[in-house]
Structure 1
Amino acid sequence: MSSEQLLHPRNPHQGSYNFAELCAATPNLAAFVRLNPKGESTIDFANSTAVVLLNQALLAKFYQVKYWQLPEGYLCPPIPGRADYVHYLADILAKNSPQPIKGKQITLLDIGTGANCIYPIIASQSYGWQVTGSDIDAVAVKVASTIVAANPVLKSRVNIVLQPNPQAIFSGVINASQRFDLTMCNPPFFSSQAEANAANMRKWTKLEQPAQGQNRNFAGQQHELWCDGGELKFIKQMITESQLFKQQVCWFSSLVSQQKHIAPLQKLLRSVGVKQSDVIAMRQGQKVSRILVWSYLTVAQQTQWLSLDATPDI
């Protein structure tokens, strides 16, 4: 397997994984590297231990993160696709700039950051942004905070907070004095455990492996994978709640896994009076996902926001 294809041009995970370099970064990975029928180095992506070690190697080599451990059963995300989301967000922020905007003056909020802390790691290390990650799971918050504390490159750039209200998204996380240039979210895609399990069965089939019950090679807790109403209901709540923070956030965003959800979400965005919105397609191999972005600011207000570091009047 490779991190192919059509990744964002700034995504460092282009082409096939260089396992020689990755094993140099994380020597324990070497025990899991094998040759595929084409004679190319790979790992067994059905093996969760191998997947975790691959992520550790990628984080060490590309993001200078030397300590990264997850509790058993928590989501271990594929890094190339996660990096794409961050790079496309950088493009949105810099719509009127020839270069991505870097530096600690840029603030990002990651909703549902998880124990893996992947988005804060990639965003802070790729662009130098200040990142806040929130989660409803106290264990995930503790583990992500430990990852931050254990890596000097993250300490001054990443802050992990507990969302005290499992029914809220922004409320309880964004306080009255805070503003964020960007928010991001990888919402629970499925509407039930049965739906998540069916998708998992399809993945094992694609990996040409026998079904292994509810076990997942990338793992994942319930709240990471499914919620009542699935992603459509979750993102609708996010859009509705975003109205309360339209003076404190420049760009809101969320991943959307199913194309059929885009039209009802765009209809809701129009009804709440957003000034700008867009849908960005991301493709990794045969997988297609989408980023839905929206803002209550005009282009002129966004320019003022970024250049003067002051909240524009709306």
Structure 2
Amino acid sequence: MSMNKYMHPKNIYKSPPNFKQLAIDYPEFREFVTQDITGKVGLDFKNIKALRALSCILLKKDFGLDVEIPLDKLIPTIPLRLNYILWLEDLLTLTGNTEAIKGVDIGTGASCVYPLIAAKKNKWQMLASEVDNNNYIYAKNNIEKNDLQDLIEVVKVEENVILKDLLKDDKYDFLMCNPPFFGSTKELRSNANSRNLNRPKPKNSFCASTVEVVVKGGEVDFISKLIQESKILETNVKIYTTMVGHKKSLPELKKLLREVEVSSFKETEFCQGNTTRWGLAWTFITNLDLKKCLDPIKLVTKPKKNKDPLTYIFPFSEVDELSLNKARDCIIKLFEGLEMVLQEVSRQKNVIRYFVTAYANTWSNQRRKRRERLRNSIDNSSSVSENNNECEDNNEIIDKEAKSPGKRTNEDHIEGAFVKKLKISGDEGGAIFFKFIVSLKLHDDTIILEIDCLESYNNRDYLHQILQYIKNHLET
């Protein structure tokens, strides 16, 4: 499903490129488009040459850049790159400085696409680093071909160099990085790390060299090293940023940011086509709060409307000052009968609130459960009769159990016993099945019950089932 609607509001590619018009305007692109029987013009995204042609044409058409990209190197998708640049623009507005911007691009690649767009579009001065010698040569040629040597400097670095040996004592407004996402060539397979074995194969052909997309330890180790080195440089760079290829990497990276005591950090999503990537930014400047940067996705996503709680009016013929407590006692008795745990949240003159925790679904299929208990009771009675003459002591034991109110009867089926054990253990671990909030209110001579979901346990079906159980037992 295309996620173009979630792209940055300023991204010119929110409406996909018109391949037919591009083929008309750029003859070198024409050989890569196809036309179906309906007349629709498309592009074969499995064709590496077609992908390269598209990137080069978009750079030429929309930015006036003439770029050469080898087929055995990473071919950049321009909408994603522009999303990153636009996010940097948003972050930089927080610094109060929007002119004479100096930035750093770690691992610029053969296309040198980020510095080229940043210099051409915004006149930013860029320092770019590159490990691969062939990429370095192509990047340098692309800078010279577009006459941007005054704004872009590309530096060849050793494999283990990320920041500290590159920046020295210079000051920069921002740093950006598109790191290798994978820890091995095995991870390059689309389904290697997917939780869904039926995940569809990528629509685009893979086009990159191993050194550009694979690094020992994967993106987490690479970005972790970037974060550790940023701690050494601290305010030499106002805002550090990186792209993240896998959402599962974010928790560990954010934990590390807290450990190195950054002043603030911010994450975002880069949505384009059928691909989502994530951005992570941090700073050591104490008066710079990156969380104030607006999230582009939230600008286009309508907030969900909170649904009203479910309500029930207690069938009291008369309501007096004691009615609220009577309603409370009824509800407590019902919920305790369902093996639920109540925790009082607040108590006022006309309102009482509880958190209610269920450790299993004990409210559904009540008729079936009663029939099962009845059958078990009959079966057990028959069994006792058949064995009555075998051991007289059995009768004494049964009589004692029947007379003792503290003993559990056959009503305590397996589910109930399991629930009781969970209750004793408290709210720890994953034992909680459902949790909701209950309010009892005295309003206009009526007692109103309200039940509502908690954010972490949002299941309206359970609420309706529980409310129906309450009605069934209070109206009988």
TM-score per shorter chain, which class?
0.7 to 0.9
Q: Gaps spanning 5+ residues in structure 2: where?
A: 193-197, 291-476
Cα distance, 1:37–1:87 mapped onto 2, change above 3 Å: farther
| CA distance in 1: counterparts of 2:200 and 2:27, whole angstroms | 27
Give the ranges of 4+ consecutive aligned residues of structure 1 lying more than 6 Å apart after TM superposition: none
1:172 deviation in Å?
Answer: 2.2
Which runs of structure 2 are paired with 1:183-202 in the superposition (5 Å)? 183-198=175-190
What's the counterpart of residue 174 of structure 1?
Answer: 167
Write out per-residue CA displacement over residues 237-281 of structure 1, whole angstroms, 9 at most, x where no aligned residue: 100011121131000011112222211111111111110101112
Among candidates 138, 144, 162, match of residue 156 of structure 2: 162
Instruction: Write the mapping of 1:99-248 to structure 2, written as runs, cut at 5 A.
Output: 102-103=98-99, 105-152=100-147, 154-163=148-157, 165-176=158-169, 178-198=170-190, 205-207=201-203, 217-248=205-236
**Residue 40 of structure 1: CA displacement?**
3.1
Q: Which amino acid aligns with 1:137?
A: D
Separation (CA, whole Å) in 1 of partners of 2:101 and 2:253: 27
- 1:13 counterpart residue number: 13
CA distance in 2, matches of 1:256, 1:238: 12
How has the CA–CA distance of structure 1 residues 187 and 110 changed in structure 2, closer, same or farther, with 3 Å as cutoff?
Answer: same
**Structure 1 residues 270 and 85 mapped into 2: Cα distance closer, same or farther (>3 Å)?**
same
Partners of 1:102 and 1:96 in 2: CA distance:
8
With the length of structure 1 as denominator, give the TM-score of the two structures: 0.83
Q: Secondary structure at the match of 2:6?
A: coil
Q: Measure, in 1, the Cα distance between the counterparts of 2:283 and 2:6.
A: 27
User: Quick check: 1:287 aligned with 2:283?
Assistant: no
Structure 1 residues 34 and 92: CA distance shift in structure 2, 3 A: same
Question: Per the alignment, do residues 244 and 162 of structure 1 end up closer, same or farther by CA in structure 2, a change over 3 Å counting?
Answer: same
Structure 1 gap ranges (5+): 208-215, 303-314
RMSD of aligned residue pairs (Cα, Å): 2.6
CA pair 44-300 structure 1, distance change in 2 beyond 3 A: closer
Identity %: 30
Deviation at 1:133, TM superposition (A): 1.2
Indicate the SS of the match to 1:247: helix
- Name the aligned partner's letter for residue 101 of structure 2: I
Alignment check: 8 A CA contact 2:125 2:152 kept: yes
SS in 2 for 1:173: helix
Q: 5 Å matches for 1:5-84?
A: 5-23=5-23, 26-35=26-35, 39-66=39-66, 68-84=67-83
| Alpha-carbon distance in 2 for matches of 1:265, 1:38 | 48
Query: Which structure ranks higher in relative contact order (CA pairs < 8 Å, sequence separation ≥ 6)?
Result: 1
